[in-house]
Amino acid sequence: MTQNKKLFKQSQLIFSFILAMLGLTFTKQSVQGAERVVLKYSILRESISVQELSQLANTGETSRSLKNYLRLANKKPEELRALLNQNVDVDPVFLSKVLNSFAGGMILDPIGEVIHTPSKRANKESLRGALVTSALSDQNIRLVEIFENYPTEEIHVDGDRLVEVYQNIEGFLDNIPDLPF
């Protein structure tokens, strides 16, 4: 690779990183992240605060309303905590590039059917923003971080398909180096 190509590649990476940081700054100023998750599981539908889910993920403590919901869903708090904390390591700049590509759109669409805005509009954009924002601080993504960084006040989640979504994200990110750009 010539010196000019190397410099061009480096400047592209720096520019992408600066854009990602600016996006994070403006996103954080306008919306602090989702406040509530409307969790649907089987025939159940419950609105749970993101703070309650974060508390469960970080400390293992379960609020009364979350305990009741999990009991009705026949799920243990430890199962939900494990799902919320499953970790995927990823470079945020690279992730941003991939998610803005054609291949990224193909993976965001089905995930957006499971994790989506209340109106089911701008799912792909909202999810992309939450994923990249989640990866920026520590170069990894956890489901609880996606909820914390989702750019609408309310996020709807199809709990029946949540594990499938995580596996899709993980599988997609594991195969990124194989994608041609």
Confidence of residue 39 (pLDDT cuts 50, 70, 90): confident
Residues found in the chain: 181
The mean-pLDDT minimum among 2-6, 55-59, 110-114, 169-173 falls in: 2-6
Residue 131 clears pLDDT 90, i.e. is over it = yes
Radius of gyration over every alpha carbon of the chain, rounded to an integer in angstroms: 17
Q: What is the pLDDT of residues 132-152, one digit of tens each?
A: 999 998 999 998 999 999 999
If one compares 143 and 180, the residue with the highest pLDDT of the two is 143
Report percent pLDDT > 70 for the chain: 74
Q: What is the pLDDT of residues 20-32, one digit of tens each?
A: 444 443 334 344 6
Contact (Cβ atoms closer than 8 angstroms) between residue 99 and residue 132: yes
Contact (Cβ atoms closer than 8 angstroms) between residue 132 and residue 92: yes
Q: DSSP letter at 42?
A: T
Is the pTM higher than 0.75? The answer reads no
**Backbone CA torsion sign across 141, 143, 144, 148:** positive
